[in-house]
Amino acid sequence: MDFYINTHKKVASKIQATFGKQEEEELLYLTNQEDGQGYTLLVGLGKERDLTFEKLRNSFAKAIKKARTLKIKEIVVKKINFNNEAEAKCIQAIVEGMDLALYTFDKYKTTDKKQEKIDVYLEDIEDEEGVRKIIVETLNVTTSIKLARDMINEPSNKLYPQELANRVMALARNSGFEVEVLEEEEIKALGMEAFLTVGKGTLNKPRLIVMRHLKGGDKEVLGLVGKGLTCDTGGYSLKNSESLMYMKSDMSGAASVIGVMNALAKNNVPQNVIGVVATCENIVAGDSYKPGDIIYTMAGKSIEVLNTDAEGRLTLADALYYIIEKEKVTKVIDIATLTGVAGITFGGVYTALLSNNNDFYTAFMNAANKTEEDFWRLPIHKKYHKYIESEIADLKNTGGSGGGTITAGMFLQEFVKELPWIHLDIAATAAVDPPLCEYTPKGGTGVGIRTLYELIKNK
Ligand code: BES
Ligand code: ZN
Ligand code: ZN
């Protein structure tokens, strides 16, 4: 999708947003009477004083999808009267809504591919310079989100750990961040037994992907850790057929981290961020791990495996410990499709959040309030700790009846020591069906990328 500013080009179709007359997000489309060709898409924004950027995203997303159905290839966006200060921000929301809405995953369709390219002409822009800058920056972020969605939607026979690493290496070359991919022997030498154990029973061997964007001089280093299960069958604690269907997306946390790294590099953001993804497959084989097994972690703690389907926390325990010990980050955020109950609780709307640090939490929520992505903090209470204590090892990998999403997060907390930490359980929000907003189609969402980018940029 290409955007042009103040070209005064004659284009047959236009999007006209209106306040008041139309209900919020209501869409009317009229054939242009003058020349008999082209359309006017009239989108309602609701009451002017209630306007939010989220309404702009959704309304323009709806309009551009309609334009696609009408096979419109060029469209003029007539500016509404935002106040001057907010012009660039409003354009940002409009670009986000339109560019993300047109995403499709149809690479495996041999016919019926959707037309994706629409040229958009933004007219009556006052701050040309500012708007041009914000469009470039925004498209680098939305492109990164679409790359993340591509990885999430890719089936696990096409996207396995080495292929994920290949994609990251290609992005790194293109966008200018550093990447290092560690193979089994090196991972073993680091002592990451928990991570290796999860990925043991497959020919598609585990990889540790380390991404570095160090453009912030002597500023602090933020660590991002993403869960990277390219396939999670549950292992011997096998999932049922319905749940199995969705587990190609169990690397959504990794996809979000990769998306953020790509956006930071593309936009040359002057901050220090290191991303780590411990990627593997959890499948059933002769040498897969079994319920009852006891394994060690890189941190030295022993874990009794009660359920091989609670594998994410095992890989993350080692990835978190690695990023703190070896990469020397001073704050860390992990993002993971960790617990199915997060989906049951929040039903595709909120990402569950746990944190051990109120200041860090507040900074994160300030960013989230700007991007209007939804997060909800769950409590950490030491009483829950009982649920993850094992009689024969230091910890066990399931909380049994005890607060699924909370105990999973608290299990991870054991591996971050006192460092400011935020845990994002995106099991509810990483992939959606049905979609709950206009600019996120069914499937991978790329949740968290906009908020993490916003947080890092303003650090
Ligand atoms: N990847 C799943 C969590 C998940 C479920 C994500 C549904 C997205 C949609 C995770 O590895 C898992 O299986 N967790 C178990 C934990 C349990 C055994 C304690 C779960 O949620 O059932
Ligand atoms: Zn699992
Ligand atoms: Zn999983």
- 381-418 pLDDT, tens digit each: 999 999 999 999 999 999 877 669 999 999 999 999 89
5 Cα to the center of ligand 3, angstroms: 45
| Predicted local confidence at residue 417, as pLDDT | 85
Residue 236 has pLDDT above 80, yes or no: yes
Rg of the chain on CA atoms, in Å: 23
| Predicted local confidence at residue 334, as pLDDT | 99
Residue 22 has pLDDT above 60, yes or no: no
Q: What is the β-pairing status of strands 119-122 and 74-78?
A: parallel
Percent share of the chain, pLDDT over 70: 96
What are φ and ψ of residue 116, in 5° steps?
A: -110, -25
Q: Is the pTM of this model over 0.85?
A: yes
Residue 249 has pLDDT above 70, yes or no: yes
- Of 245, 337, 339, 432, the residue with max ligand 1 atoms within 8 A of its CB, to mutate for a pocket test, comes to 339
Give yes or no for residue 193 CB within 6 A of ligand 1.
no
User: How far apart (Å, rounded) are the C-alpha atoms in residues 441 and 348?
Assistant: 13
The minimum-distance atom of ligand 1 relative to the CA of 312 is 11
Residue 49 has pLDDT above 90, yes or no: no
If you search the block for the tokens 């955020």, which residue do you land on? 333
User: How far apart (Å, rounded) are the C-alpha atoms in residues 16 and 412?
Assistant: 49
Residue 423 has pLDDT above 60, yes or no: yes
Q: Report residue 301 as tokens.
A: 């703690």
Do residues 190 and 240 make contact, with C-beta atoms less than 8 angstroms apart?
no
The minimum-distance atom of ligand 1 relative to the CA of 307 is 18
407 Cα to the center of ligand 1, angstroms: 13
Residues forming a β-bridge with 302: 296
For ligand 2, an ion, list residues with CB under 5 A: 232, 309, 311
Residues forming a β-bridge with 3: 120
Q: Report residue 455 as tokens.
A: 């947080």
Nearest listed ligand to the Cα of residue 397? 1
